[in-house]
């Protein structure tokens, strides 16, 4: 897996050493020597990861990281602070600045490459979501910004059979989050199926295999998006590397430092919410692409695709498909007399009555204006005619209530058609049903006309 990595260090020898190591692993490496250049290159080049030295003249690594995470164009780029400092205060300061990890010099090459691989893999997943969200935004399908996303109030699951350690972690987390504890692998998996923002796994547990739990969380569709914080003895290199390789997002060293834990948990919870936010926006955009915003029914685009597939299947000898074309009678008079707001109310109420009178397998759609279509899989002309009559009666049986407490009588004309075999097409099927609508209107409206051919 290749990626673009920006190395930032004011010492040329350090830059060249890191560049050589990363190039040998087939990474594309960018370099610079100060924080200002880092901000510019990060915005222009959009690297997949930034390895950022802390001790630099002018703007130090902490401030550079803070600015990277504050800017909309660069906040999604993972940042690893690299420094000779190894103090607890500096590590926590770096995490609170938004850093995704904090590595001390001299760098352990194996640990470095494991962190690079883990963070660039996560970045690629987030990039795909961001690209889809950006495409939706350009189409005008925007569901809001990310400014409200916080790293507190998370639902955090602690899976640990060390009772004292688990209770200490939960107690510290309860200051900002909503922790819960599981002490077995099975209980941990069951709890993770709920609404969880982060799982903390004691990889060194004696009563269960923490690595197996990480692997199972990553293998199950419903849980693979939950971030995992692996709790581990840092001298246990094989387990540490295996945890990262299996998909743990971060490492928390034992014995647990409460402030460092809080900083890492906040980072993971906020990242989880950002990912959920992008996925929700994508789902919202897809819904808008397939749904009529006024009525909530499927739109013409969705209907066309479904009808094409069903007619093609019927032409190959499959089940027949029928369509209803429905046109609200005298709808222009409603708009002209009462205004378009009342017209919209009529369309919404009509859509409710339409949707409640068709079967679960049917597809009620708004075709455009006051015209609607129902696609009916596995339905003969006779059955479709019977359902159309039921819809017509329900629409006309009770007046529509509109703004101000007034009521309005509404009727509908319906045309019905069913597939004819291998030579039929979606266009011909809709045309026959549409001709039925015209015939119904010519006969006085408020009626159903079926066109067999």
Residues noted as catalytic: 370
Residue of 121, 204, 192 whose CA lies nearest to 160:
204
Residue of 36, 22, 34, 29 whose CA lies nearest to 67:
36
Residue of 446, 311, 303, 427 whose CA lies nearest to 388:
446
According to DSSP, the β-strands at 321-328 and 407-408 are unpaired
Strands (E), 110-177: 155-159
250 burial class (0-12, 13-18, 19+ CB within 10 angstroms)?
buried
Total count of residues recorded for the chain: 453
Peptide bond before residue 255 is cis, with ω within 30 degrees of 0: yes
For the chain, first and last CA: distance in Å? 59
Can you list the alpha helix ranges (DSSP code H) found in 139-209? 163-173, 185-192
Q: Are 228 and 216 in contact (CB under 8 A)?
A: no
**To 10 degrees, what angle do helices 237-246 and 210-219 make?**
10
| CA distances in angstroms from 267 to 45, 191, 197, 272, listed in the order given | 24, 22, 11, 9
DSSP-derived secondary structure letter, 267: H
Residue of 7, 16, 15 whose CA lies nearest to 41:
7
Q: How far apart are CA 368 and CA 109, in angstroms?
A: 62
Q: Are 14 and 38 in contact (CB under 8 A)?
A: no
Element (H, E) at 120: helix 109-138
Strands (E), 108-237: 155-159, 178-182, 198-202, 228-232
Can you list the alpha helix ranges (DSSP code H) found in 181-299? 185-192, 210-219, 237-246, 258-290
Ramachandran class of 282: left when φ > 0, alpha when ψ lies in -120 to 50, beta otherwise: alpha
According to DSSP, the β-strands at 363-368 and 371-377 are antiparallel
């Amino acid at each position: 897996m290749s990626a673009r990595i920006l190395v930032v260090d004011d010492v040329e020898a350090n830059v060249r050493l890191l560049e050589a190591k990363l190039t040998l692993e087939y990474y594309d490496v960018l370099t610079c020597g100060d924080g200002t250049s880092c901000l510019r290159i990060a915005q222009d080049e959009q690297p997949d990861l930034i390895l950022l030295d802390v001790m630099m003249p002018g703007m130090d690594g902490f401030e550079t990281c803070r600015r990277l995470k504050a800017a909309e164009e660069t906040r999604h780029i993972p940042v690893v602070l690299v420094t000779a400092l190894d103090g607890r205060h500096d590590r926590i300061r770096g995490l609170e600045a938004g850093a995704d990890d904090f590595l001390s010099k001299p760098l352990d090459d194996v640990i470095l490459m494991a962190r690079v691989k883990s963070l660039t893999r996560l970045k690629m997943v987030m990039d795909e979501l961001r690209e889809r969200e950006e495409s939706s935004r350009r189409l005008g399908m925007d569901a809001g910004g990310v400014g409200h996303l916080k790293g507190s109030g998370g639902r955090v699951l602690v899976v640990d059979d060390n009772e004292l350690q688990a209770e200490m972690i939960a107690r510290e987390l309860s200051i900002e989050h909503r922790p819960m504890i599981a002490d077995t692998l099975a209980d941990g998996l069951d709890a993770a199926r709920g609404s969880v923002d982060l799982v903390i796994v004691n990889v060194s547990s004696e009563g269960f295999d923490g690595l197996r739990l990480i692997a199972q969380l990553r293998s199950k569709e419903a849980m693979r998006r939950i971030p995992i914080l692996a709790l581990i003895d840092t001298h246990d290199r094989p387990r540490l590397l295996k945890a990262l390789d299996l998909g743990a997002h971060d490492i928390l060293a034992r014995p647990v430092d409460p402030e460092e834990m809080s900083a890492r948990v906040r980072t993971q919870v906020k990242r989880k919410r950002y990912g959920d936010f992008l996925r929700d926006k994508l789902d919202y955009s897809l819904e808008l692409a397939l749904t009529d915003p006024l009525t909530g029914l499927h739109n013409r685009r969705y209907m066309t695709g479904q009808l094409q597939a069903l007619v093609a299947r019927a032409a190959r000898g499959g089940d027949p498909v029928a369509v209803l074309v429905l046109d609200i009678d005298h709808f222009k008079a409603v708009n002209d007399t009462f205004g378009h707001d009342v017209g919209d109310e009529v369309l919404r109420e009509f859509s409710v009555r339409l949707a409640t009178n068709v079967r679960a397998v049917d597809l009620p759609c708004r075709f455009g204006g006051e015209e609607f279509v129902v696609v009916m899989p596995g339905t003969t002309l006779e059955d479709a005619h019977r359902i159309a009559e039921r819809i017509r009666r329900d629409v006309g049986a009770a007046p529509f209530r509109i703004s101000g407490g007034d009521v309005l009588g509404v009727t509908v004309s319906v045309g019905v058609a069913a597939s004819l075999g291998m030579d039929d097409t979606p266009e011909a099927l809709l045309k026959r049903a549409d001709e039925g609508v015209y015939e119904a209107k010519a006969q006085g409206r408020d009626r159903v006309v079926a066109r067999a051919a």
